[in-house]
Amino acid sequence: MTLIKSISGIRGTIGGGAGVGLNPLDIVKFTSAYATLIRKTCTVKSNKIVVGRDARISGEMVKNVVVGTLMGMGWDVIDIDLASTPTTELAVTMEGASGGIILTASHNPKQWNALKLLNERGEFLNAAEGNEVLRIAEAEEFEFADVDHLGSYRKDLTYNQKHIDSVLALNLVDVEAIRKANFRVAIDCVNSVGGIILPELLKQLGVQHIEKLYCEPTGDFQHNPEPLEKNLGDIMNLMKGGKADVAFVVDPDVDRLAMICEDGKMYGEEYTLVSVADYVLKHTPGNTVSNLSSTRALRDVTRKYGKEYFASAVGEVNVTTKMKEVGAVIGGEGNGGVIYPESHYGRDALVGIALFLSHLAHEGKKVSELRATYPSYFMAKNRVDLTPETDVDAILAKVKELYKDEEINDIDGVKIDFADKWVHLRKSNTEPIIRVYSEASTPEEAEEIGQKIMKVIEDLAK
């Protein structure tokens, strides 16, 4: 059993004793702490909090505990039930609510669940707010409402359609072009809420032919739910049979988007954002942002339009903060997370799909041909295991000094930008390891530069 309390929420495996797994006692404590923080910090005059969930088997249980706790804290709950993470984010602002809780463990397997916490803008809490929730929970500094001030409950199942409407209303979503292109689209929704909303989105975008895989929202995931190539054999085989022009794969809460070409090959999740950004920049030139561990191809595409690319620390809240700071027109994360401010400041696979299909329709190319138009980079991901006694910060400082003649970014670990490749070193907050991400123009070069820096770290650790 595992329970992880962090600034981005509470996450754990279902069951076990208090403080051991994700169980009702800890859910009550954490929800009460969040409700207390929102009461103190919220600037909108609303007594509403939105609750949405993915289709996990434990979702109904967790939701009932969260809803009851919020009502016990005096909040009026809007229960949008089975809904994607971006749907819940949008519902917060559409409702004029004070905050929202999303019940999803994202790409974690079915035994996990989590509470993701939103502010009144439908965006994730920042680090300071997340820490304050942890502090309040630990101190149990919360007070429940008396009988005359209990919160109310309302179920509202209209938000999936409202989310789709908001996507269709975006200026750059060209429904007419998509309809005319007569695309055949396959989807793998890994038995969660994508199976409810994606077929509807595609129909309303004018897609007539939809091949569905694992669209029943049972929460009994038919494969590892992280949308990586090693987990997607079934849909890749379906594509090899020539049944569709493109396949879209989402994780259980639909904020990440992976794509598969018409020949059954992966498009590359790093290139979801690159392709969408190319389309957005073509029509609305502006700055872009992704995190330090994302592909350099976004920088290349941005510069093609004479605009500037900026890197943020890893984590969605860091990306959105940087996007606001530099006025980015598009941004996101290399894990298939597209953030389009014209819609909202959150990763949204629905927005990604609609913009990508618009782009594909305008280009008139096969998906594999479109992919071939972008700079080709390959990434390697490694880790160096150290002892608990190792001073990881001191090692990172020495690496930085060793490579001071290269372009260095130290807002999140150490990133060394060479002329034709890069390496990003990040320390784990929970164990004595350094994660080593590297990218170059061939897989061999990416692995080679990663191994070279790993050797440096190992030597420094001796």
List residues with catalytic annotation: 106
- The residue behind tokens 């029943």 is 216
Nearest to 329 by CA among 350, 354, 307: 307
Q: Is the dihedral of CA 253, 256, 257, 258 positive or negative?
A: negative
**CA–CA distance, 14 with 54 (Å, rounded to integer):** 15
Cα dist from 385 to 382, 389, 401, 431, 447, whole Å: 10, 12, 21, 9, 17
**CA–CA distance, 194 with 198 (Å, rounded to integer):** 5
Nearest to 202 by CA among 157, 260, 248, 240: 248
| Angle in degrees, 0-180, between the axes of helices 194-204 and 349-363, rounded to the nearest 10 | 30
Angle, CA 63 vertex, CA 7 and CA 18 arms, to 5°: 60
- The residue behind tokens 């999740």 is 269
